[in-house]
Amino acid sequence: MPDITIDPKTTALLLQDLQEELLKGDRPVAPLSGAELIANCKKLLSKAREVGMLVIYVKVTRRSDMKDAPRPAFGTPLGTPAPRMLIEGTPGAEIVSELAPQPEDVVVTKHTTSPFNTTDIEVYLRRFGISNLILTGYSTTGVVEASLRDARDQDYDCVVVSDCCAAGSIEEHTSRMDLTFPRSAWVANVDEVVAAIRG
């Protein structure tokens, strides 16, 4: 393990798309279960709060008419509807209760895969003097990958917490953690990241 120190004053913890319908619904969550993912994120969140680190929650929601849902991928059969879920104001769209935000936390709502496109997250990052991001979330191949790519393009140093992320399959998750993400971030488990945070 490299000798890495994370400064809580210049670091933000991003808890991304950790919502009731995603982690406790019918969608596959791998390689960890939704409950295991929540438990690991809770450990990391506790450390972040202990040292006064900025905590930013990212959530994704849809209008009740689904007109803000992304278009199906090119080549998808015509008339294939987007899954009706994460409707704004419904219980399923809420952040899981075990990781509920506190009044001092930042909560941003997005309508795209990356929070850097349709939220004011960068306003908070600039105003709090953040240069380093700790990334977690569901899914590894969705919000985590997208936010990592966008953050690196804007010169943020990034940490991806491998066991605070999950995807729709083990293969999706491990390919990113083993091959893709190490090119752009320090990939470490929750215990390694907690140990590196010095406040």
pLDDT in tens, 15-63: 999 999 999 998 999 999 999 999 999 999 999 999 999 999 999 988 8
Residue 143 has pLDDT above 90, yes or no: yes
Q: Which of 105, 179, 113, 99 is nearest to 150 (CA)?
A: 113
- Map out the domains of the chain as residue ranges: 8-196
Residue 155 has pLDDT above 80, yes or no: yes
SS3 32: coil
Residue 82 has pLDDT above 70, yes or no: no
Contact between residue 40 and residue 163 where contact means Cβ atoms under 8 Å apart: yes
Domain 8-196, architecture per CATH: 3-Layer(aba) Sandwich (3.40)
DSSP notation for 96-127 = PGGGPPPTTSEEEEESSSSHHHHS-HHHHHHH
Q: Which residue has the higher pLDDT, 132 or 1?
A: 132
Token couple for 97: 């209760």
In this predicted structure, what is the pLDDT of residue 1?
60
Residue 121 has pLDDT above 80, yes or no: yes
In this predicted structure, what is the pLDDT of residue 63?
83
Contact between residue 112 and residue 71 where contact means Cβ atoms under 8 Å apart: no
Residue 81 has pLDDT above 80, yes or no: no
In this predicted structure, what is the pLDDT of residue 96?
98
CA 113-116-117 angle, 5° bins: 70
- What pTM did the predictor assign? 0.93
Whether residue 31 is preceded by a cis peptide bond, meaning omega within 30 degrees of 0, is yes
Average pLDDT of the chain to the nearest whole number:
93
In this predicted structure, what is the pLDDT of residue 73?
73
pLDDT in tens, 56-76: 999 998 887 777 777 767 777
